[in-house]
Structure 1
């Protein structure tokens, strides 16, 4: 018995992913209701990275053969294929444990995935501070390394500000 099964005793057809924002059954339909029995879930996330394997590995082999196995480019392309394989395998294994998502249904409608995506601060200055710090850090590579240090400190300060933004003032929760 897996840890998920111990915590969730409902049948697999009734389980939902933790942050799944699919519409409720109140007048709207879910992805499972429209999936014909013969349709296999696409697991689109894993398929995207599997396409990277199918591209980068042959390109790496062709590049290596044409360049006389030049070490940087050949290894780079083959490592890109290996990284795509890692991500694709992780997403495929993880996707087998989750209920089908609306994007796995080839007959799904766009509104099936509608809903609240997350909480975003509309009036935050933190991204501007982080971006300014990053710009200073990269400018420091051209002007002087001392400016890179200042940029890193400013960016880290902006990151701390963004992480703690909802922990003080009127937004405390």
Structure 2
């Protein structure tokens, strides 16, 4: 995770410097500055995630010079075989976007389906490993 953290931190610094420079020289045009600020925030969130994962789990064999392929053998993580929530999430996203076009009523229905899909995906395996 160390390499990934450094990569995305470097990307975040690049977008920060570029955004400050663009905002300084562009004058009253705020769209480019806003886009670069959002890009900086997204890269910062990913770098923060990798940093927290590195601090929580420690170094991986890929992060060490003396790491061997055999050090990475075994199961990596839990990956569910099937879940009903990705189609629910996709349907909710589609209905929400269509609601922007056709009216508030469809947007609210779509947002409800979207929230149910996100909640289902987040909490589907919340009790896995207990008891």
**Pair in the same fold by TM > 0.5:** yes
| Pairs aligned (count) | 128
Higher CA-based Rg: 1
* Structure that is richer in helix per residue: 2
Q: CA RMSD in A?
A: 3.8
Does 1:55 pair with 2:20? no
- Going from structure 1 to structure 2, the CA distance change for 1:113 and 1:75 (only over 3 Å counts) comes to same
Which segments of 5 or more consecutive residues in structure 2 lack a partner in the other structure? none
| TM-score in terms of structure 1 length | 0.52
Tell me what 1:143 maps to: 102
Pairwise mapping of residues 6-85 of structure 1 onto structure 2 (< 5 A)?
Answer: 43-68=2-27, 70-74=29-33, 76-78=35-37, 80-81=39-40, 84=43
Distance, in Å, in 2 between the alignment partners of 1:106 and 1:44 is 12
Distance, in Å, in 2 between the alignment partners of 1:44 and 1:84 is 14
Pairwise mapping of residues 110-149 of structure 1 onto structure 2 (< 5 A)?
Answer: 112-149=71-108
Which segments of 5 or more consecutive residues in structure 1 lack a partner in the other structure? 1-41
| TM-score in terms of structure 2 length | 0.64
